[in-house]
Amino acid sequence: MNAIFRFLGAAAALCAAGLCQAQTTLTVAAFPSVDKIVKSAIPAWKKLHPDVDIKVVAREFADHHNAMITSLATGTGLPDVMAVELGFLGRFAEARTLDDLNQPPYLAAQYHKRFVAFTIGQATNQAGELAALPTDIGPGTLFYRDDILKKAGLAEADLTRSWESYVEAGKKIKAATGAYLLANATDIQRIVIRTGLKEGEGVFFDKNNKVLVESPRFVRSFEMARAVREAKLDAKIGAWSNEWSEGFKRGTVATQMMGAWLGGHLQNWLAPGTRGLWRAANLPAGSYGSWGGTFYAIPKKGANKALAWEFIKFMTLNKDNQLAGFKAEDAFPALIEAQNDAFYDEPVPFFGGQKVRLLWRDAVPRIPALDVAKHDAVAEEVISTELDKVLDQNKDIATALADARALIERRSRR
């Protein structure tokens, strides 16, 4: 009897000492496939923090961000940790409703160097606050069909030397094989304007919010797009449509420029039958860019901030978790040390044994940081519409860009 009481007493004392704490729940809001990455990291987390449960709230990509907007607007219903995609990060960061991670108790400044350089800039708002930590990036790459290229008697360098040579190569490909060079002429326009930026320039606006759409790189981008369309080198299909997928399956589209993660999709479901026929190269004309990217943030009005910070560090600063995300969901690590692993040296059979991960890893440091401006989304839409008029209705390029400037100025004055 006494032994039992003593045992119970000891147990009670231990509990009082805090060794069997009550369970806390950390709410993480995410979208596919970030939610999968988080869920698969839970077992490792539980080993470190057995008393903290992770509750993942997954919503579709747009739904998630809309729900976050609603919550940030009203200050209620916020998760403890919020996953944010690059496209929405600018707006959330400028809104200043996310905690500045440079400040105590986070003191993230010590970690800046551990991440790929341009990602920190993407997450920093104009007031210099770091609104989120990066977890994955999408290094831009040019995927091409090696067999089609060879049939047209071309080499990879013909595609990548310059934009002009890219278009010329496209004409030869069309003549020799009938395949289109790329899915849509608008793709080439989008990339060209993101290259050759001067210091202090954003894509559409410069530091003084002057509209830059009549600059040479915009004119060139429109001219390239028109050249592609006039030579009938684009299939005029939208990305992620089943036509697009079919284009890959049948080899009617010879190249695609996108984030490195597309490789996994090509292999898994877009065109699994084309195994061994694809290669990856850097973007033409020495361009480097990034497609998307995911970040984790802590809302100012969130709860459990200490645990939230632990979780974010766990997902972003931990080499194993970063690599796991890469292996499972093609989430290219934003953590530099996670880019040092034997995994990158492996030849990838889908790409004919090419060591594509090395290619991408080497491209990453050369990706420029692009300044994000408040009215980027509007400017993007204006340019896209004007480009449609140029391609579809033969509108004059100079007029189109002048109209674009006027429209952007009107809208961005607000």
Partner 1 sequence: MTSLPHSHAAGALRLPTTQRRWGRPWQTWQAWKWAPYVFISPFFILFLVFGLFPLLFSMWLSFQSGSISAGLASLEFVGWENYAFALGDEWLWKSLYNTLWLGLVSGAPQHLVAIPLAAFIHTGFTRWRNLVLGAYFLPYITSTVAIALIFTTLLSTDFGVINQGLQQLARIPVLGAWLPQEPLNWMGRAETIKPAVAMVVFWRYVGFNTVLYLAAMQTIPKDLYEAATMDGATPLQQFRHITLPLLRPMMVMGVTLSVIGGLQLFEEPFILTGGRGGTNQSAMTTAMYMFRTAFEFNEWGTASAISWLLFLCIALLTWLTGRAFARGGMES
Partner 2 sequence: MSLTRNPVAAMSRATAYATVAIGALLMLAPFYFMFVFATHSRSDIFSLPPPLWFGDALATNLRLLQDVVPLFWRNFGTSVYVALVATALSLFFCSLAGFAFAMYEFRFKRAAFAMVMATLLLPPFLGMIPTFMIMDAFGWLDRPIALYLPGAAGAFGIYLMRQYIASAIPRELVEAARMDGCGEFRIYWNIVLPLTTPALGTLGLISFIASWNSFLGPLVVMRSMEAYTLPLALRSMQSPVNTEWGAVMAGSALAVLPLLLLFMLSSRRLIAGLTAGAVKS
Residue ranges in contact with partner 1 by CB under 8 A: 62, 65-66, 68-69, 72-75, 91-92, 94-97, 235-238, 240-243, 246, 252, 374-375, 377-378, 381, 384-385, 388-389, 392-393, 407, 411, 414
**Partner from partner 1, partner 2, none contacting 389, C-beta within 5 to 8 A by type:** partner 1
HSE-CB of 349 using CA atoms within 13 angstroms: 5
User: Of the two residues 283 and 379, which places its CB atom closer to partner 1 in the complex?
Assistant: 379
User: Of the two residues 146 and 243, which places its CB atom closer to partner 2 in the complex?
Assistant: 243
**Partner from partner 2, partner 1, none contacting 405, C-beta within 5 to 8 A by type:** none
User: Of the two residues 340 and 384, which places its CB atom closer to partner 1 in the complex?
Assistant: 384
User: Of the two residues 153 and 178, which places its CB atom closer to partner 2 in the complex?
Assistant: 178
**Partner from partner 2, partner 1, none contacting 58, C-beta within 5 to 8 A by type:** partner 2
Shortest distance (Å) from residue 87 CB to partner 1: 9
CA distance 267 to 278: 10
In the block, tokens 């499972």 appear at 328
Under a CB-based contact definition with an 8 Å cutoff, are residues 211 and 412 in contact? Answer: yes
**Partner from partner 2, partner 1, none contacting 408, C-beta within 5 to 8 A by type:** none
CA distance 200 to 211: 13
Helix, coil or strand: residue 153: coil
**Between vectors from CA 83 to CA 79 and to CA 84, what angle results, nearest 5°?**
120
CA distance 336 to 235: 37
Shortest distance (Å) from residue 184 CB to partner 1: 9
User: Of the two residues 282 and 412, which places its CB atom closer to partner 1 in the complex?
Assistant: 412
**Partner from partner 2, partner 1, none contacting 392, C-beta within 5 to 8 A by type:** partner 1
Torsion, CA 86, CA 90, CA 95, CA 101, rounded to 10: 70
- CB burial class (10 A; 0-12, 13-18, 19+) of residue 228? buried
Under a CB-based contact definition with an 8 Å cutoff, are residues 296 and 264 in contact? Answer: no
Phi and psi torsions of 211, nearest 5°: -80, 130
Helix, coil or strand: residue 12: helix
Interaction site with partner 2 (CB under 8 A): 31-33, 35, 55-61, 63, 66-67, 70-71, 73-74, 76-77, 240, 242-243, 245-246, 249, 261, 265, 269-270, 272, 329
Shortest distance (Å) from residue 72 CB to partner 2: 10
- Which two three-digit tokens encode residue 102? 């440079």
**Partner from partner 1, partner 2, none contacting 44, C-beta within 5 to 8 A by type:** none
User: Of the two residues 58 and 154, which places its CB atom closer to partner 2 in the complex?
Assistant: 58
User: Of the two residues 54 and 86, which places its CB atom closer to partner 1 in the complex?
Assistant: 86
Shortest distance (Å) from residue 211 CB to partner 2: 29
Shortest distance (Å) from residue 347 CB to partner 2: 24
Under a CB-based contact definition with an 8 Å cutoff, are residues 152 and 191 in contact? Answer: no
Specify the amino acid at residue 334. Answer: A
Shortest distance (Å) from residue 385 CB to partner 1: 6
CA distance 30 to 20: 30
**Partner from partner 1, partner 2, none contacting 407, C-beta within 5 to 8 A by type:** partner 1
Shortest distance (Å) from residue 333 CB to partner 2: 18
Task: Report the chain's terminal Cα–Cα distance, integer Å.
Answer: 79
User: Of the two residues 2 and 393, which places its CB atom closer to partner 1 in the complex?
Assistant: 393
User: Of the two residues 304 and 318, which places its CB atom closer to partner 2 in the complex?
Assistant: 304
**Partner from partner 2, partner 1, none contacting 399, C-beta within 5 to 8 A by type:** none
Shortest distance (Å) from residue 5 CB to partner 2: 41
CA distance 261 to 13: 52
- 295 sits in the region (left: phi over 0; alpha: psi -120 to 50; else beta) called beta
**Partner from partner 2, partner 1, none contacting 33, C-beta within 5 to 8 A by type:** partner 2
Helix 305-316 vs helix 34-48: crossing angle, to nearest 10: 110
Strand ranges inside 132-220, DSSP E:
133-145
**Partner from partner 2, partner 1, none contacting 278, C-beta within 5 to 8 A by type:** none
User: Of the two residues 88 and 106, which places its CB atom closer to partner 2 in the complex?
Assistant: 88
The DSSP code sequence of 248-302 is HHHT-B-EEEEETTHHHHIIIIISGGGTTSEEEEPPGGG---EEEEEEEE-BTT-
In the block, tokens 């519409």 appear at 385
